[in-house]
Structure 1
C-alpha cells in the first residue's frame, strides 16, 4: 500500500511523533493507522514525542574532566523530582563522559556514540523520555582545555558528585604547581558562579551588548541637558564602570573584596610558582533562558482526574 502525505499528517497529529517516524510506522504496518499508532507506542516514540512540547526547565548540570580539560552539560527534565532519579543522574554523568571525547559542542555531543546503549546520545536521551516518563533534552554543553595548566570546576547546589543546578569551568594557563593552581581556579569558579560576569576581560564583552549599554547611557545623559562634549565624557565614565562590573578580571573578588579577581590571581602566583593567565570560563545555570509556562494548578488536577 502507498503511504500518502495525508496519512503521515494524520498519524503525526494523533501521536505527536516525527514525520519520518510516522512514515516508517505506516510502511511497517501496511498503512493501518491503528497498527501504526501501536507500532510507535511499542517503540516508545509516540510517548516520547507527545511529551516533547512540554516545558523542560528542571534537570541537572553535569561536569567531568581531567587536569587540563573539562566539560559541562545541561540535561533538562520537567520536574525536580526526576533530577533526584538515579537513572537520570547516571544519564547526565554518562553524557558528560561522552562529551569529553568531542569538541564540546551540543551538536557533537548529541551525535556521539553512547557506549552503554550503542546508540547516539540523542537517541539515548529520547529513549530515556519513554522510560522516565518526562520530556528530557540535552540543551547545552561546553568544553574548556589548556595545553599547560588546569581547568578548574565548581558545582553549586550539588545533588551528587559532579551534578547540580549551576556549573562553572575556569581555564588557567600556567606551568606552576597544578594543585595550587586548581585551588585558585576553584575560587575563581565560585566567584563566577556568584557574579555571572559577561566575559573574562573588558575587550571580550560582546560588542552588541556594549553598544546597547552605551546607547542607554547616551539617552540618560542627554536628559541632563548638558553639552555634547560633557555628555560624551559622562558616557565614557559610565562605560568604564560598566566594563569593571561585568568583566571577570576587573570585578571585586567575592572571597576578598579588597582585591580584584586579576589581583587575586596575581597574588596566587607566589604559591603556584609561575605566572597565571585566565584564558576562559563557562557558566551554565539550569533552565537559564527557558520560558516556563505559567501552569493552572486547578486545571492540571482536573485534567489528571479525567485520566
Structure 2
C-alpha cells in the first residue's frame, strides 16, 4: 500500500503496472499543495496591500483569474465606486468629530481638517493616515509667490477636495475610498497653508499633544507660530521655560488663551503680546519674548469644527 499526498490510498499491487500507476498518481497530486500555497500567498498579499476583507479579496482574485496585479486594479476600481456610493448614501450624517492635522516641512506648513461621525474612528490609525495625506498634499501642491516674511492662504474645503495625489486621483477620491472601507461618513474641512522667507522659523503644537517622532501633529486644537530669534546673551526666562522650549510654550499659550491678534493696544484682552503668559502669569508674553530675543510675526490657531480663524 502507498500513502499519497492528500491522504489518497491505493490498494496494494503486486505487479509492475500497479506500481507504475501508483507512482504516477503520486507525482500528479504533489502539485496540489503548491498551487494552494501560491493562492494563499496572493490572497494574503492582496489583503495586506488593500486592507479589504478575506471574502472581497477572494472575489477580486476569482474575477481576474487569480492574477494578483489585475485583481488589485479591479478591487481599487470597485472600491472607489462603492466608496463614492457609500459616501453619497452617508452624506447627510453628522460629522461633528474628527481631527486637525499640522505638518511643518522646512519653510512650509499646512493645517488640515478631517471630520467623521465618532471619536472611535478619529482615533483610528487609518483615519490619521488619511489626515497625513491631506497635509502632505497641501504642502506639495501649494506655493505663494511672495517676498513677505510670512505668507498665508486659506484653502476652502472644495478646493482641498480637488487637490491631486500621486496616482492622479483627488483627495475627495481618497476620502470616498476610505468611507467605503470604514463605513462611516467623513468630510474634508478647510485648510491653511503658510510659507516663510529665509530666517523665519515655524513651530507648532496640537492638543492633545502628539507623541514626539510622529510624522503629523494632530488633535482637536492646533497652533502654528512664525517667529524670528535674535542672538542674545543675557536671557532671563521663567523657571520652567527655556529657549528651546519657548516656541512650543508659546503655541501652548495660543491654544489655551485664544488670542486673535499678535499685538493690539485697543484690544489687549485678545492681544497675544499683552496677555499674561500661561505658564507664568507674573510676566506678559511681550516681556517674555523680549527677554528671549523672540519676535512673533504671526500665528494661526484652529479648533475642530470651526472655520479658519
Instruction: Show the counterpart of 1:265.
Output: 289
* CA–CA separation in structure 1 for the residues paired with 2:186 and 2:244: 33
Where structure 2 has 5 or more consecutive residues not aligned to the other structure, the ranges are: 1-77, 144-152, 233-241
Which residue of the other structure, out of 155, 179, 197, is the alignment partner of 2:206? Answer: 155
Aligned match of 2:98 in 47, 59, 70? Answer: 59
- Answer whether contact 2:224 2:299 (CA < 8 A) is retained: yes
**Would you say the 8 A contact 1:84–1:159 is kept in 2?**
no
Once the two structures are superposed, the pairs formed by residues 114-133 of structure 1 within 5 Å of their partners are 114-115=165-166, 117-133=167-183
Match of 1:256 among 280, 286, 292: 280
- Deviation readout 1:132-191 (Å, 9 max, x if unpaired): 1111111121122321121110111146532222111011034659xx866322111100
* Alignment match, 2:39: none
How many residue pairs get aligned? The number is 204
Report the Cα distance in structure 1 between the residues aligned to 2:283 and 2:209, rounded to whole angstroms: 28
TM-score normalised per structure 1: 0.60
Gaps of 5+ in 1: 1-38, 204-239, 270-275, 290-307
1: CA distance between counterparts of 2:243 and 2:134?
Answer: 27
Equivalents in 1 of 2:183, 2:92: separation in Å? Answer: 13
Distance 1:41 1:249, change over 3 A: closer
Q: How much does 1:254 deviate? A: 0.6
Give 1 or 2 for the bigger CA radius of gyration: 2
- Which structure has the highest helix share of the two? 1
Q: Is the 8 A contact 1:64 1:96 kept in 2?
A: yes
Measured on the aligned residues, the alpha-carbon RMSD in Å equals 2.6
- Structure with the bigger RCO (C-alpha within 8 Å, sep 6+) is 1
* Higher mean C-alpha deviation, range 103-112 or range 42-51: 103-112
In 1, Cα distance between the equivalents of 2:89 and 2:284? 50
Equivalents in 2 of 1:176, 1:125: separation in Å?
A: 46
| CA deviation map 1:256-306 (0-9, x unaligned) | 21111111111111xxxxxx32111111112237xxxxxxxxxxxxxxxxx
Distance 1:118 1:125 in 2: 14
